[in-house]
A and B are shown apart, each in its own frame.
Chain A
């Protein structure tokens, strides 16, 4: 448990978080590993986990009818995967696909939600950090949508 706490404290997402809150979060955490090619989660299934990537690379895939899925983003070491665990209906909207062997800390979404509800200060800290990630990813998605390398005649 002590080791998990250290790993979580070193994760950029939780940087600067009070030790008392880290203790609460560690109670929802476990170490996980995915082999290259394994699916961490699939679109439409319950989003009950939040991952802190320690090593490896995860493709965020989008299902496109009549086509193979496309990779819309990759997430690597030090980054987080997933916020669907926080908001109803708690269902994944994309596939998460390990491109290489991937090690992560899995945080039980239901457990973490419960602790955030019980302790709103913790909830605020987690939300502040998540919103920052959401903002970055939204910026990146807008930039991506501009399709800047296409030929614009």
Chain B
């Protein structure tokens, strides 16, 4: 994994303004922030996350979902599932929030260079993977085939629909979408995300896979990738736990010998595969 660059004052939130709020699905929103001092936004690596401070409510660890090549903004896609996330997605353009970070390890874009990239996302898990897709598309000649497999609960839960359609039209890029439950007007696949492997143009020996989604989904996907011939060191996953300090001090996100915030969130399946099979960990 690529290591993180942490700002000089990692516990101090930097003031940012909400520039734009876009509704992606009935409960998921993408917010674009910019520093309120006019400076460029903190540079980040695909896969890193920030701690977002909603004043008077609390702090949230959220993966950055924007383009790492655009230094005038930080973009986050957030699903409203609780008090803090609801408060964040309810922000209006012009309102202020605090940002700490970026933190954590990034996706291994250097390891993937010259190889096929297999991106497998489930639900909101597409958000932390979108910066990798942006990175590959803006450095297209450095990467071989891009295969994106994306599963969501239903058609109305799909993120970034227009971008998915435009990525699908690009050369050396295969985009396959499935939903767990489809309506009669749905014309793509229906079934869990692992059913897409049958239709994916995989070249296991020359691939790096990047997975993000619910942990149980990643476990099934990793198992199927292994069955297709990828080794555990070719499979990378982004993990999620309750993060507080984001620096490995507080221990809230400890996962076996690792702190998800500092040693992750991106790990190889070789590192964490055995722990994913332990009950209640």
Contact = CB atoms under 8 A, between A and B. Distances in A.
A87 interface: no
Contact of B192 (A60, A71, A140): A140
Contacts, number: 73
A73 B153 contact: no
Interface stretch (A16-24, A27-35, A123-131, A145-153): A145-153
Contact of B191 (A61, A73, A100, A149): A73
Contacts of B213: 148-149
Contact of B190 (A59, A68, A147): A59
Interface of A: 57, 59-61, 68-74, 76-79, 99-100, 140, 143-144, 146-151, 153
B183 A144 contact: no
Nearest to A69: B184
Nearest to A62: B181
A140 B198 CA distance: 13
B187 A78 contact: no
Pairs of residues from A and B, 5 with the lowest C-beta to C-beta distance, nearest first: A71-B182, A149-B123, A149-B153, A148-B214, A143-B192
Given A59-B182, A76-B198, A76-B199, A71 B216 contact: no
A73 B180 CA distance: 8
B249 interface: no
A100 B189 CA distance: 12
Interface in B165-215: 178, 180-184, 186-192, 194-195, 198-199, 213-214
Given A140-B194, A149-B123, A74 B216 contact: no
Contact of B187 (A73, A99, A140, A149): A99
Interface of B: 27, 79, 81-82, 122-124, 151-153, 157, 178, 180-184, 186-192, 194-195, 198-199, 213-214, 216-217, 220
B122 A140 contact: no
Contacts of B122: 148-149
A144 B191 contact: yes
Given A78-B198, A146-B216, A151 B81 contact: yes
Contacts of A79: 198
B183 to A, nearest CB: 7
Contacts of A68: 183-184
Contact of B220 (A60, A77, A99, A143): A143
A144 B27 CA distance: 21
B71 to A, nearest CB: 32
B182 A148 contact: no
A74 B182 contact: yes
A74 B198 contact: no
Contacts of B153: 147, 149-150
23 contacts: A59-B190, A61-B184, A69-B184, A71-B184, A71-B186, A71-B190, A73-B195, A74-B190, A77-B199, A99-B187, A100-B187, A140-B191, A140-B192, A140-B195, A144-B180, A144-B192, A146-B216, A147-B153, A147-B180, A149-B122, A149-B124, A149-B151, A153-B81
Which of B178, B199, B213 has the most chain A CB within a 10 Å cutoff? Answer: B199
A148 B216 CA distance: 7
Contacts of B180: 144, 147, 149
B193 to A, nearest CB: 9
A76 B189 contact: yes
Given A140-B194, A143-B194, A149-B122, A74 B189 contact: yes
Nearest to B179: A71
Nearest to A150: B153
Which of A71, A78, A79 has the most chain B CB within a 10 Å cutoff? Answer: A71
Contacts of B186: 71
B180 to A, nearest CB: 5
Nearest to A71: B182
Contacts of B124: 149
Nearest to A36: B187
A73 B195 CA distance: 9
Nearest to A77: B199
Which of A57, A70, A148 has the most chain B CB within a 10 Å cutoff? Answer: A148
